[in-house]
């Protein structure tokens, strides 16, 4: 249904899309994945006849996008990544306007809009002003708009980017419903996990180049293998590095790691001792401690007297009393 052959697009010195080729069969939900700046939007804009390729070609339903852009536009429903919406109209008026723009015959217009509203579950919002809606709701209206002329192919640039988790599930259900109705869906995203359970095929783009393309199961398995390989290589590298250091007489990096865990501990030690000494000094000068020491002295003197059997009034006794 979609055929991309050796597509190249350059902007000055930037190679946004670099020799990309893939096919999308009829009835697929095809996920176009890649990080920021990978070239997804550029490819999608060329598909949607909004940009011309530097070289290569794209066919949609057998029609070359450069030869018959009008024919392609009739067959596709395109949703941009940051769609602008007319704000000072109601949702119903907005969809009516676009049905007219897509040349839906007047007699069918009301029923078409009603069907699309029903399908996209916009019934409760029909009388609301577009300006009053949230971003996620606006995204849903955009999707409704792409369906008005009953296109065979939907080309959606990050359709779920502004949606909350529940709205994402609703969007997924809607896309699966549209697939059952016979539409081919091409959509972009940053995250495979977001689309893995609904898409049938995947293409992964990085820095303008295609790094993988094929059925989702095969690509998922290849990615898992890649992650496992990388993990293994990293562990081996770390172990080898440790062994090499050890052979050179270094302390085991693992022990160094443990020592380093609290490097301030040793610095803290003198401080701890200083505090303990100060606390002892403070306690020693406490009135209760002083009274205690005086009582202890009296007790010692009394014990001494008892040991010497000295009468109370003698010289030593006075001396002891003088201590009190």
Query: Which pairing describes strands 2-11 and 55-60: parallel, antiparallel, or unpaired?
Result: antiparallel
Span of 18-26, 36-44, 124-132, 160-168 interacting with Mg ion by CB under 5 A: 36-44
Tokens coding 84:
């602008």
Span of 77-85, 97-105, 168-176, 239-247 interacting with Mg ion by CB under 5 A: 77-85
41 binds Mg ion (CB under 5 A): yes
Span of 40-48, 65-73, 90-98, 139-147 interacting with ligand ATP by CB under 6 A: 40-48
String marking each residue 283-312 x if it binds ligand ATP according to CB under 6 A: ------------------------------
Span of 37-45, 89-97, 98-106, 110-118 interacting with ligand ATP by CB under 6 A: 37-45
Tell me if 136 sits within 8 A of 167, measured CB to CB: yes
37 binds ligand ATP (CB under 6 A): yes
Using CB under 6 A as the binding rule, the residues of this chain from 219 to 258 that contact ligand ATP are: none
Show the beta-strand stretches assigned E in the chain.
Answer: 2-11, 14-24, 29-33, 55-60, 63-64, 76-79, 153-156, 184-189, 201-206, 209-215
State which residue, 96 or 158, has the beta carbon closest to ligand ATP: 158
Show the beta-strand stretches assigned E in 174-220.
Answer: 184-189, 201-206, 209-215
Nearest alpha carbon to residue 118 among 156, 97, 92: 92
Alpha-carbon Rg for the chain in angstroms: 40
201 binds Mg ion (CB under 5 A): no
Give the interface size with Mg ion as a residue count (CB under 5 A): 3
State which residue, 36 or 262, has the beta carbon closest to ligand ATP: 36
Tell the smallest beta-carbon distance from residue 157 to ligand ATP (Å): 7
Nearest alpha carbon to residue 9 among 204, 206, 208, 158: 208
Give the interface size with ligand ATP as a residue count (CB under 6 A): 13
Collapsed DSSP state (helix, strand, coil) of residue 274: helix
DSSP state string for 14-43: EEEEEEEEEEE-TT-EEEEE--TTSSHHHH
Q: Which of 81, 93, 162, 194 binds ligand ATP (CB under 6 A)?
A: 81
Tell the smallest beta-carbon distance from residue 247 to Mg ion (Å): 50
Tokens coding 28:
């697929």
Give me the residues that bind ligand ATP (CB under 6 A), please: 11, 14, 16, 34, 36-42, 81, 190
Give me the residues that bind Mg ion (CB under 5 A), please: 40-41, 81
């Amino acid at each position: 249904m979609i055929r991309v052959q050796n597509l190249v697009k350059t902007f000055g010195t930037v190679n946004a899309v670099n020799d990309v080729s893939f096919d999308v069969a009829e009835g697929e939900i095809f996920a176009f994945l890649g990080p920021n700046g990978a070239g997804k939007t550029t490819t999608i804009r060329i598909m949607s006849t909004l940009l011309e390729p530097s070289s290569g070609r794209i066919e949609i339903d057998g029609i070359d996008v450069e030869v018959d852009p009008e024919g392609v536009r009739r067959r596709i429903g395109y949703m941009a990544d940051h769609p602008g919406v007319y704000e000072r109209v109601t949702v119903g008026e907005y969809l009516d306007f676009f049905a007219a723009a897509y040349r839906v015959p007047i007699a069918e217009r009301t029923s078409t809009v009603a069907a699309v509203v029903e399908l996209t579950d916009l019934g409760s919002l029909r009388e609301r002003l577009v300006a009053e809606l949230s971003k996620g709701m606006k995204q849903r209206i955009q999707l409704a708009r792409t369906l008005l002329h009953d296109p065979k192919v939907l080309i959606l640039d990050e359709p779920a980017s502004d949606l909350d988790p529940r709205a994402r599930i609703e969007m997924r259900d809607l896309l699966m419903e549209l697939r059952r109705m016979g539409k081919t869906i091409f959509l972009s995203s940053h995250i495979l996990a977001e689309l893995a359970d609904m898409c049938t095929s995947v293409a992964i783009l990085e820095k303008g180049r295609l790094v993988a393309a094929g059925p989702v199961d095969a690509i998922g398995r290849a990615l898992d293998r890649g992650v496992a390989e990388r993990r293994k290589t990293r562990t081996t590298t770390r172990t080898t590095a440790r062994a090499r250091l050890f052979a050179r007489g270094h302390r085991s990096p693992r022990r160094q790691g443990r020592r380093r865990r609290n490097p301030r501990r040793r610095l803290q030690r003198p401080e701890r001792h200083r505090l303990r000494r100060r606390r002892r000094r403070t306690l020693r000068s406490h009135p209760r401690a002083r009274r205690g020491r005086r009582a202890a002295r009296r007790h010692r003197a009394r014990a001494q007297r008892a040991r010497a059997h000295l009468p109370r009034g003698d010289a030593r006794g006075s001396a002891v009393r003088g201590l009190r």
